A and B are shown apart, each in its own frame.
Chain A
Amino acid sequence: MQLSRIVRTAADILYPFILIFGLYIVIHGHLTPGGGFQGGAVIATGSVLLLVAFRYSELTGDLRKGWMKIFESGGLLLFIGTALAALLVGGVFFFNWLANTGSLFGIPVAFGPNPGEIYTAGVIPVMNLAVGIEVWGGLSLIVMYMMGDLEEGGERS
């Protein structure tokens, strides 16, 4: 059974917007409400939308389980790698070694009312990104496995 063409086309069109909105929440996690988990969950809803509109077997490319596993592990490795890198620069595990250095995300935070500068907060945006990737992979995997069961059951009965 296939869902109607309207649903499939709408899902196709909506998917990039959901992706961008999720990425926005991830990247601005240190400035606005939201963050890695929330943004990753939003991106994962995009994957879920595609999974509902199409069949898993119809999806190719990035939405494969193998890729999602790599995203999940890669995100986690980036997260803990960022935390461990602090040891190499002489800090403590999870020390914010990028903050106020002037390099990546290293601009000092301005005091007083200001619109928010994205290149601040040191390792926090990096970790948000890592968590975002990890949650995207993890939640998509959960839904894929559970929907995979449904499809199998549907074919059997």
Chain B
Amino acid sequence: MSWELLRLHAPALLIAVPLVASFAMPILGRTKLSRGIIALGAMALTSCIAIFLSYTVYTSGVLLYVFGAESPALSIPPDSGGIPIRIIFTIDALSAFMTLIVAIVGFSVFLYSMSSDQRHTGLEGYYTLFLMMIAGILGMVNTGDLFNFFVFLEISSLAGAGLVAFRIEKGKAVEGALKFAVLSTMGALLLLFAVGIFYWQYDALNIAAIASRMQFSLLDQIALVMLVAALAMKCGSVPLHFWTPDAYSMAPSSVTAMLVVSSQASLYGLFRVIFTLYGIKLDWVTVGWIVIALGMLSMFVGVTMAIPQKDVKRLMAYHAISQTGYMLLGVGVGIAVLGDPASLQSYGMAAIDGGLFHIFNHAMYKGLLFLTAGAIIYVTGTRDMNAMGGLGHRMKYTMIFFMIGALAIAGIPPFNGFASKLVIYESVYRFSPVLAIIAMLVSILTLASFVKVFHSVFMGPELPEYDTGREVPLPMLLGMGLLAGIVIVIGIFPAPFIDHLVAPAAQALVNQAGYISAVAGGG
């Protein structure tokens, strides 16, 4: 296959490679070796395609891929009456940005799971679902079609629920998975209802086609409420967050790291709906303040619920809610000033930059933290922090990785969490000083909470029950090391990263006309 062909079909291969591997897994993945080769090979290939695709999009602009057409860019065939009828992948810089996140976290997680989950049976089913979940997330962030978004959302949440329940753990994991699955299904059905409303009015399913005809009638407002409720529920924002700690804490750790990315794909969907689908028709200030309110609530409730937790993964899950609040806050401030070009230029874009940058950073350090939690549980066999202690003597690398992750999540320089939080603080302070101060306060509480975890898990004398405990196997260390390396590199050199990756994504998010014309001009 030549480069030109690969460049042309990269969006299709991005979905096809994990799906083929996932379908082949039950037949070919009977032995440990073949299973590992297929899973890791497929994920590595997917990551390479994803990185290549992102590079293409960042250098040459929005990429279209029309499924089943004569040529990949033929978005409006001559006999369709001016409506994009086929499923179209519309990959702009924001989609490429999210694809990059999935690629990096996905590869680390697969590397990690090569040893962490090998004690269990039924692993071919595990990797089948895992690859399907990856395909679902990649589809969600790349598709330009609302119904297709619903389908990929269902794929990723069904596979995710199956993975949460993978270790039954006397029914507890299944309980978490059941909550996750019921709420995901409810959210997806609300989304489908909204899709129906759009099709009723505009005879189109394509996001760009709907956006170009958007009337913002009463029905559209109802659809907006449904979409925001569904996607806010899926991304674990506060009023509907209660599935998050249950599902995150009971899933195998490698899956939890991926569930974080899956939630962020829903967050991407939320931003896409607000910016691209509704765009200029919205009442910016109201919607902006709603998003900010969701963000502040998530931040505060998440961190206060996290402090008393004893289960190490449950604690981290509440912190994940709290960190989602920062992303909502940053982008929410951007939405609130979108109608005002002067303040948008002076701090609005910076706020959106900060929110998106935080999505990337959060995926890295939260993935790292969940993986270290998995390593701790792998060695000790318990989740209760009060039963742990003195692990630092035996697990030096895990301790270092945990420190990196914990300092990054608390926003301490020179780690990446500091870089994105600084951008958020600076821009939000100019919008409203109170919000920025609350955000900093939450950061301090986060640090306090993680200092406590660090102390009770790693410090203190060696406990006799973990005398035999050793450092985790090499693949797990490599998976964590990859994420830790990215956390440090971005923390030390944030500026080129913001300029070349985050700012184009933020521009793409705000540029609704560009998104529409990319699809409409492909005739």
B24 at the interface (CB under 8 A from A): yes
CB interface residues, B 15-72, toward A, < 8 Å: 16, 19-20, 23-27, 65-72
Expressed in whole angstroms, the minimum distance between the Cβ of B233 and any Cβ of chain A is 27
Contacting pair B24 A77 (CB below 8 A): yes
Most buried by A among B5, B23, B24, B72: B23
B470 at the interface (CB under 8 A from A): no
Contacting pair B20 A84 (CB below 8 A): yes
Across the interface, which residues of A come within 8 angstroms of B16, CB to CB?
80, 83-84, 93
Expressed in whole angstroms, the minimum distance between the Cβ of B418 and any Cβ of chain A is 42
Q: Residue of A at shortest CB range from B23?
A: A76
Chain A interface main SS type: helix
Across the interface, which residues of B come within 8 angstroms of A70, CB to CB?
26-27
A69 at the interface (CB under 8 A from B): yes
Cα–Cα, bound, A69→B27 (Å)? 8
Contacting pair B23 A96 (CB below 8 A): no
Contacting pair B26 A72 (CB below 8 A): yes
Expressed in whole angstroms, the minimum distance between the Cβ of B186 and any Cβ of chain A is 22
Whether A87 contacts B68 in the complex (CB less than 8 A), given A72-B26, A74-B27, A77-B24, comes out as no
Across the interface, which residues of B come within 8 angstroms of A74, CB to CB?
27
Whether A93 contacts B23 in the complex (CB less than 8 A), given A80-B16, A83-B16, comes out as no
CB interface residues, A 58-91, toward B, < 8 Å: 69-70, 72-74, 76-77, 80-81, 83-84, 87, 91
Across the interface, which residues of A come within 8 angstroms of B69, CB to CB?
92, 95
Contacting pair B20 A77 (CB below 8 A): yes
Expressed in whole angstroms, the minimum distance between the Cβ of A68 and any Cβ of chain B is 10
Q: Residue of A at shortest CB range from B89?
A: A93
In the complex, how many residues of chain A place their beta carbon closer than 8 angstroms to a beta carbon of chain B?
18
Whether A80 contacts B68 in the complex (CB less than 8 A), given A72-B26, A73-B26, comes out as no
* Count of A-B residue pairs with CB < 8 Å: 51
A119 at the interface (CB under 8 A from B): no
Contacting pair A92 B67 (CB below 8 A): yes
Contacting pair B23 A73 (CB below 8 A): yes
A15 at the interface (CB under 8 A from B): no
Q: Residue of B at shortest CB range from A77?
A: B23
B12 at the interface (CB under 8 A from A): yes
Contacting pair B67 A93 (CB below 8 A): yes
Across the interface, which residues of A come within 8 angstroms of B20, CB to CB?
77, 80-81, 84
Cα–Cα, bound, A96→B25 (Å)? 27
Contacting pair B23 A92 (CB below 8 A): no
Contacting pair A93 B68 (CB below 8 A): yes
B213 at the interface (CB under 8 A from A): no
Contacting pair A95 B26 (CB below 8 A): no
Whether A69 contacts B26 in the complex (CB less than 8 A), given A93-B9, A93-B67, comes out as yes
Cα–Cα, bound, A94→B89 (Å)? 13
Across the interface, which residues of A come within 8 angstroms of B65, CB to CB?
92-93
Across the interface, which residues of B come within 8 angstroms of A73, CB to CB?
23-27
Across the interface, which residues of A come within 8 angstroms of B24, CB to CB?
73, 77
Across the interface, which residues of B come within 8 angstroms of A84, CB to CB?
16, 20
CB interface residues, A 94-129, toward B, < 8 Å: 94-96
Across the interface, which residues of A come within 8 angstroms of B67, CB to CB?
92-94
Contacting pair A92 B71 (CB below 8 A): yes
Cα–Cα, bound, A81→B9 (Å)? 15
Cα–Cα, bound, A70→B25 (Å)? 10
Give the interface size class of chain B. 10 to 19
Expressed in whole angstroms, the minimum distance between the Cβ of A97 and any Cβ of chain B is 10
Cα–Cα, bound, A98→B415 (Å)? 54
Expressed in whole angstroms, the minimum distance between the Cβ of A82 and any Cβ of chain B is 12
Expressed in whole angstroms, the minimum distance between the Cβ of A127 and any Cβ of chain B is 11
Contacting pair B70 A91 (CB below 8 A): yes
Across the interface, which residues of B come within 8 angstroms of A96, CB to CB?
68
Q: Residue of B at shortest CB range from A94?
A: B68
Whether A92 contacts B27 in the complex (CB less than 8 A), given A80-B19, A84-B20, comes out as no
Across the interface, which residues of B come within 8 angstroms of A77, CB to CB?
20, 23-24, 27
Contacting pair A80 B70 (CB below 8 A): no
CB interface residues, B 108-130, toward A, < 8 Å: none
- A interface footprint on B57-94 (CB within 8 Å = 1, 0 otherwise): 00000000111111110000000000000000000000
Expressed in whole angstroms, the minimum distance between the Cβ of B428 and any Cβ of chain A is 43
Across the interface, which residues of A come within 8 angstroms of B12, CB to CB?
87, 92-94
Cα–Cα, bound, A74→B25 (Å)? 11
CB interface residues, B 279-304, toward A, < 8 Å: none
Cα–Cα, bound, A68→B326 (Å)? 47
Cα–Cα, bound, A75→B24 (Å)? 10
Across the interface, which residues of B come within 8 angstroms of A80, CB to CB?
16, 19-20, 23
Q: Residue of B at shortest CB range from A83?
A: B16
Most buried by B among A74, A93, A96: A93
Expressed in whole angstroms, the minimum distance between the Cβ of B408 and any Cβ of chain A is 38
Cα–Cα, bound, A74→B20 (Å)? 11
Contacting pair A92 B26 (CB below 8 A): no
Cα–Cα, bound, A95→B68 (Å)? 4
Cα–Cα, bound, A44→B16 (Å)? 27
Expressed in whole angstroms, the minimum distance between the Cβ of B224 and any Cβ of chain A is 31
Contacting pair B19 A92 (CB below 8 A): no
Across the interface, which residues of B come within 8 angstroms of A94, CB to CB?
12, 67-68
Across the interface, which residues of B come within 8 angstroms of A76, CB to CB?
23
Cα–Cα, bound, A70→B12 (Å)? 25
Cα–Cα, bound, A153→B5 (Å)? 55
The 4 closest A-B pairs by CB, nearest first: A93-B12, A76-B23, A94-B68, A73-B26
Known: A80-B19, A95-B69. 11 other contacts (CB 8 A): A72-B26, A73-B26, A74-B27, A77-B23, A77-B27, A81-B20, A84-B16, A91-B70, A94-B67, A95-B68, A96-B68
- 26 A-B pairs with CB atoms under 8 Å apart are A69-B26, A73-B24, A73-B25, A73-B26, A74-B27, A77-B20, A77-B23, A80-B19, A83-B16, A84-B16, A84-B20, A87-B5, A87-B12, A92-B12, A92-B65, A92-B68, A92-B72, A93-B9, A93-B16, A93-B67, A93-B68, A94-B68, A95-B68, A95-B69, A95-B70, A96-B68
Interface residues of B, Cβ cutoff 8 Å to A: 5, 9, 12, 16, 19-20, 23-27, 65-72
